[in-house]
Structure 1
Amino acid sequence: MTQREQRQRLGANDFDLEDELVDEATATVITGAKRLNRKWPELVVTGFFGGVDVGLGILAMILVKQATGSDVLSGLAFGIGLLALKLAHSELFTEEFLLPINAVIAGQANVLQIVRLWAVTLVTNLVGGLAFAGLMVLALPDYHSTMIDTAMKYLDQPSLVVMIALSLLAGATVTLSTRMSQGTSNDVVLAIVSLASGLLLIGLGMLRGALNAIVIFAAMLAGADITMLDLLKWFGIVIPFNMLGGLLLITLPRVVRTYRVLRAVRKGTVSLEDLETQSS
């Protein structure tokens, strides 16, 4: 018996792939298409609350950072924000590349819809984050110095190479974290993934544009010597490399391994309904 025949005998699909990979492709295409086809009000509000939900994690991070001075403990506290993001079904800029990209490859949406999703999500994340940062500054005057010190740590990098590497790592970490979260329905596992991701992101000082921006906004409102030009220069480096980290290190390999399924859906060889039936 050939390998192909053996896999087909052990599985429930005709793609010469493990059933788990076919199920993954099906789920990502369906979820991605739903995200890309949101109406404007839902898209805007979801992105806004993405900034607010992550702000909860920033608030916990600042609290623990000032109380302990530990980046590791403050990273674990930040995981609360990532958990809130998952449980509230909010949208964080480029947190999950795989979903919309798979939907486009499978012919369930188009590239302009991806551009719309990412652009609106980034802007609304920043607006929501700015609003939350303003509340933090007003409510917590005793924490201003911690906000400023944390923001300056993100802005003052030893070299451009380090800055790019930290941005790539952050993009890959958040994308992989989200992918793992979507692979489980267990809330305990979801919490562990969120806390571990926060530990890595904050504990190692990774640079994630939509997340770090909330701290930088708070520092600026608290009187830090940070100009808008400084912020834009920082963004101009961090955001593109966040995207590359998520796309090249996490998303592209996963697209390659399920491409035959996506292509079959696009060509109409198999329907999403048929794949859903097989998955269930």
Structure 2
Amino acid sequence: MSDSERDTRLEQKSSRTILDSILDSALHEMHRERSGLFLSGLSAGLDIGFGPLLMAVVLTLSPGGFGDLPTELLLASVYSVGFIFVILGRSELFTEHTMLAVIPVLDGQASVRELGRLWGLVYVGNLVGGILFTLLAVLLTPGLGVVEPAAFEAIAHKLVSHDLRWLFVGGVFAGWLMGLLAWLVTAAQETTGRLLLVVIVTGTIGMLHLPHSIAGNVEVLFGLFVSPAITVTDYLQFLALATLGNAVGGGIFVAALKYGHVVRGAN
């Protein structure tokens, strides 16, 4: 191994260091007051809505649509904007905590009850924030002339047109990617690196149109509010299965596996 390679490895955080950072951060959030957790979740639910809104703008202004490669790449890029606002702004996002908050429970430093408290407050805050953002967007953006109701409907239909099994399996993959993102962001040394990771991982979710329960909450609500083709049943089925899939993906495929390999001496 060359000296430069050895120096690079020394500069990188070890797996144990990453795990300890996650433990400290997750325990801090678990011990926050209820109002603080809820307001942080509310802020994240509001901020993440800018991604789906920009997607609607792209679909309105672009000559292409879903399936057109340049449009798909642009949609994936703008989809990540809301996640950049949330993750770099340090607001609380439920799908990050499907991994982060599980780690202290696996380590015996927190109870399942404490996990449920954090999940519940953050999740409800995310959903309420998403509902408020969607109402504002649907009411105000038509006057700007850059978004058509048909774009809102197309975005929602892209998520609810699949069968229920796909919603769950797709949700698992989305949760897996979000859990991995939370781990990688903790490992990253600089803000530029974190930004690039957020764009790559969430852009992948957007490119694959995977059901993310919080961003998707806004996407499907767009369609529910502007189109009779999207029903309340569509919304509730999406939300339930995407949430369950996200929790399984982040909790099992990232939290349990990452924790398991670190505590068994991977370093």
Smaller-chain TM-score bracket: 0.7 to 0.9
Q: Which AA in structure 2 matches 1:167?
A: G
Task: Report the counterpart of residue 239 of structure 1 in structure 2.
Answer: 243
Task: Report the counterpart of residue 29 of structure 1 in structure 2.
Answer: 23
Question: Is the CA contact (8 Å cut-off) linking 1:57 and 1:82 kept in structure 2?
Answer: yes
Task: Report the counterpart of residue 145 of structure 1 in structure 2.
Answer: 150
| Deviations 1:101-131, CA, capped at 9 Å, x for gaps | 2223334322111101111111111110011
Shift of 1:260: 5.6
Question: Is the CA contact (8 Å cut-off) linking 1:94 and 1:118 kept in structure 2?
Answer: no
Question: Aligned residue pairs: how many?
Answer: 244
SS in 2 for 1:96: helix
Stretches of structure 2 lacking an aligned partner (at least 5 in a row): 1-9, 66-70
TM-score normalised by length of structure 2:
0.84
Shift of 1:175: 1.3
Distance 1:213 1:150, change over 3 A: same
User: Quick one: which of 190, 196, 205 aligns to 1:201?
Assistant: 205
Question: Is the CA contact (8 Å cut-off) linking 1:28 and 1:98 kept in structure 2?
Answer: no
TM-score normalised by length of structure 1:
0.80
Shift of 1:213: 1.0
Q: Which AA in structure 2 matches 1:155?
A: V
The residue correspondences of 1:152-191 to structure 2 (distance < 5 A) are 152-157=157-162, 159-191=163-195
Question: Is the CA contact (8 Å cut-off) linking 2:97 and 2:119 kept in structure 1?
Answer: no
SS in 1 for 2:97: coil
Stretches of structure 1 lacking an aligned partner (at least 5 in a row): 1-10, 12-17, 262-280
Identity of aligned residues (%): 23
Shift of 1:210: 1.3
Q: Does 1:118 align with 2:112?
A: no
- The higher radius of gyration belongs to 1
SS in 1 for 2:254: helix
> How far, CA to CA, are the matches of 1:195 and 1:136 in structure 2?
23
Q: Does 1:95 align with 2:96?
A: yes
Task: Report the counterpart of residue 134 of structure 2 in structure 1.
Answer: 133
Question: Is the CA contact (8 Å cut-off) linking 1:164 and 1:237 kept in structure 2?
Answer: yes
> How far, CA to CA, are the matches of 1:30 and 1:198 in structure 2?
25
Task: Report the counterpart of residue 7 of structure 1 in structure 2.
Answer: none
> How far, CA to CA, are the matches of 2:250 and 2:259 in structure 1?
12
Question: Is the CA contact (8 Å cut-off) linking 2:48 and 2:215 kept in structure 1?
Answer: yes
Shift of 1:37: 0.6
